[in-house]
Amino acid sequence: MQRQLQRLAETLKTRFGQLLKQYRTILRALVHPAVPWYAKLVCGCAALYVASPIQLIPNFIPIIGQLDDVLVIVLSIRLLKRSVPPPVLDKCENGSRSSIVSAIPLTLPIGPSPALGSEVSPPDFCQ
């Protein structure tokens, strides 16, 4: 009985790791330039559905609540495999987490805002 529980725990841990890897693949496909727009749309909707607190089947319902999230991820991965060339999909599957962050531009104004006028100067650590 103890061995069966250990094997079950290891299997669940492995499957959960695979699911997280697939979710990361979906997120990377969102920012990759070679992925078609319709695949990006489906991946974006899948990522939002999994992260959203509003769902068709709520997650607090024991097994069925999580199965709909798994189904959405699996279906979006299938669409990616059909619509994206294999080298691009390999990049999305094997990419690092930093590629997602570096692909999203972040622009922050450093100088004083023109609306505030010239009397406001940036703090000392910015100079």
Task: In whole angstroms, give the CA distance from residue 89 to residue 92.
Answer: 5
What's the CA gap between 113 and 122, in Å, rounded?
10
Residues 6+ apart with CB under 8 A from 68: 55, 56, 57
Q: What is the pLDDT of residue 97?
A: 52
pLDDT band of residue 108 (cuts 50, 70, 90) is very low
Beta carbons of 68 and 56 less than 8 angstroms apart: yes
Does the pLDDT of residue 73 top 80, yes or no?
yes
Q: How confident is the model at residue 127 (pLDDT cuts 50, 70, 90)?
A: very low
47's tokens: 């990522």
Nearest to 33 by CA among 82, 88, 86: 88
Instruction: Kindly list the domain boundaries of the chain, sorted by start residue.
Output: 2-126
| CA atoms of 31 and 91, how far apart (whole Å) | 12
Task: Output the pTM of the full model.
Answer: 0.63
Q: Are 57 and 65 in contact (CB under 8 A)?
A: yes
